[in-house]
Amino acid sequence: MQAWTREIASVVASFEGASRRSVAGIEVDFELRFDLRATGLDLHWLTDAFRTALDGADLASAGGVVFRALFDTSDTDVVTIHLQRRSRDARGAPAPGGGAGRVPRSGGGLADPSSALTVGAVRPGSGAVELETATGNLTYDSPLSLSGDTISSMEVSEILSPSGSVNRALANTKRKAHQLLGVKVGNQYRYPLFQFDRERKQIRPVAEHANRLMECDLDPWGTLDWWFTENPLIEGQRPVDRLTVQALTEAEVELMVAAEQMGMD
């Protein structure tokens, strides 16, 4: 355990140094994944060791620091330790008046620790969605119609099954692999249509590339927001608009996602 204690102390020291070097408006995110079975570590020991190291670090002037442990839903032996330093003016701050606004994103595809967006419920008579969060519900104005601009898992299978033999599990498999963006509304997933090339019966390659980079299934609402947000790195256009006219490139996606993860967008 001593070796792991030293490793954790080193990580926290690096986190502290990065926090001190950053300027106003820049977020710092660290993610470390541990396989508890392979390493023989206990979750309680692991989180206590991180808390002890964080308590010993001088982070008082580094802004708000968030620490949390997240289990991989597909493998409960794998836990992600997430350290985040958020500045007051960083992305994801509540919209003035506390109303509907952007869904915050953090680097690495994880949902904002202060929000932990999970399941959405469409509000009747509006394009807004009520998102359950760790601190209560958040009202999010969806940039698309969840009924008219998205399709069901069955419809996804019909598009992506060239042979005509529908695989009911196909949408779920591709969503979990971060190839396909799906947002959970009520008790079902809905898949935005802009991702599909119906003629070729495939997911648009650039859309799949972007979804993979953002690990979309870990932060689906944040990923959806990214697609519909104007980005200065592509002349103030929205990624979804460039995608639909086949003008978006993988290089542009990589540049935008890297900037997002560095908190520089």
Q: What is the helix (H) or strand (E) element at residue 121, kind and residue range? A: strand 120-122
- Residue 217, φ and ψ in degrees, nearest 5: -75, -15
Residue 56's nearest CA partner among 11, 4, 112 is: 11
What tokens appear for 65 in the block? Answer: 């620091």
pLDDT tens digit at each of 265 positions of the chain: 788 999 888 888 888 887 776 555 556 778 888 888 888 888 778 878 887 887 777 665 555 667 776 665 455 677 778 787 765 443 333 332 233 333 444 333 333 333 333 444 444 334 556 565 555 555 666 788 777 788 988 899 989 987 767 777 899 999 999 999 998 876 688 899 999 998 899 999 999 999 999 999 988 888 998 999 999 999 999 999 999 999 999 999 999 998 877 754 3
Model confidence, pTM = 0.55
d(CA 122, CA 147): 10
The whole-angstrom distance between residue 65's C-alpha and the CA centroid of its chain comes to 18
